[in-house]
Amino acid sequence: MTSMKPPMKMFDPHIHMTSRTTDDYQAMAAAGIAAVVEPGFWVGQPRTHVGTFEDYFAALIGWERFRASQFGIRHYCTIALNPKEANDPRVADGVIALIPKFLDKDGVVAVGEIGFDDMTPAEDRYFAAQIELAKRHGLPVLIHTPHRDKKRGTERTLAVVKESGIAEELVLVDHNTEETLPLVLATGCWAGHSIYPDTKMDEARMVALVERYGAERILINSAADWGVSDPLKVPKTAALMRERGIAEAAIKTIVWSNPIAFFAQSGKLDPAELGEAPAIDQRRLHEGNSVLRGQTPVTPGTES
């Protein structure tokens, strides 16, 4: 306890807060996370009605954004038909028809997660269709890459991007590994990495990637959701980078400047605004609802 210096400001550009608790929000804020992007994804249980998606998207731009604000965290989201449910004819076309009205809303900073899960013809079709939606609305895209057969999935992903004609700097390809990162960096796309407990990519492997490739166009996220995951993986990875001697400037680029630069291309995320801490006012309500259960509200001037 030698220093009262606040932690470095960090951005988790891929986290499903809808599935997380207020304890998580408190711990994230304490660890320095000042902003998040919550991608529209699947919710574990297959949805059987288009209307369920509509309410889910509305909650991302409404209630969840409000909930984050109550802990001093800025919340942005991305909207899409996710790759897994692109294979469900009960909902796929209806969701595609629904998306445009959400893309112009405040806080919607990209189309995503789109891409491949099993690499089916339906996934191919909806992937391309949603890149077209992004182009039409002037938004970047966030692309999920498959967990199985990842190298081939990433190669096909980059081929679809190229064929679509979207500017590569508007594309963030996520869930990279040692095998896929060089493929993504060889294009103009940005490269995301999801740091998971035990599997896929961890803090030490991420440090090794940064030592080898540097910080340019590199992002890290927790991808925390309703499964075994850790919403503090961004600060934990930043801490290991520091311990292993990665320069502060490079760490800041990865955990703060890069996600801001990428999502600011939407025109809906203001880098200047992000430089200032938002005032927390827990007296506020969202459609009559509060995050409090009788606690004393934090108000502007009483934040610790």
Q: What's the closest the beta carbon of residue 142 comes to Zn ion, in angstroms? A: 9
Residue with tokens 């600011």: 264
* Interface region with Zn ion, contact rule CB under 5 A, candidates 28-36, 118-126, 218-226, 279-287: 218-226
How is residue 264 written in tokens? 């600011």
Backbone angles phi, psi at 282, to 5 degrees: -85, 5
Residue 44 or 288 having the CB closest to Zn ion: 44
Q: Which of 112, 134, 103 is nearest to 42 (CA)?
A: 112
Count Cα neighbours of 109 within 13 Å in the Cβ-side half-sphere: 26
Q: What's the closest the beta carbon of residue 161 comes to Zn ion, in angstroms? A: 19
Residue 11 or 291 having the CB closest to Zn ion: 11
Q: Per-residue DSSP letters for 149-193?
A: SHHHHHHHHHHHHHHHT--GGGEEE-S--TTTHHHHHTTT-EEEE
Residue 176 or 282 having the CB closest to Zn ion: 176
Q: What's the closest the beta carbon of residue 85 comes to Zn ion, in angstroms? A: 13
286 bridge partner residues: 289
CB 124 within 8 A of CB 92: no
Residues 222 to 281: which contact Zn ion by CB under 5 A? 223
CB 49 within 8 A of CB 4: no
User: Which of 41, 102, 116, 190 is in the footprint of Zn ion by CB under 5 A?
Assistant: 41
* Interface region with Zn ion, contact rule CB under 5 A, candidates 29-37, 40-48, 52-60, 154-162: 40-48
How many residues make contact with Zn ion (CB under 5 A)?
2
Q: What's the closest the beta carbon of residue 6 comes to Zn ion, in angstroms? A: 28
Residue 60 or 223 having the CB closest to Zn ion: 223
Query: Mapping DSSP to helix (H, G, I), strand (E, B) and coil, where does residue 254 land?
Result: helix
Q: What's the closest the beta carbon of residue 148 comes to Zn ion, in angstroms? A: 16
Give dist(CA 232, CA 237) in Å, integer: 9
* Interface region with Zn ion, contact rule CB under 5 A, candidates 37-45, 86-94, 99-107, 213-221: 37-45
- Contacts with Zn ion by CB under 5 A lie at 41, 223
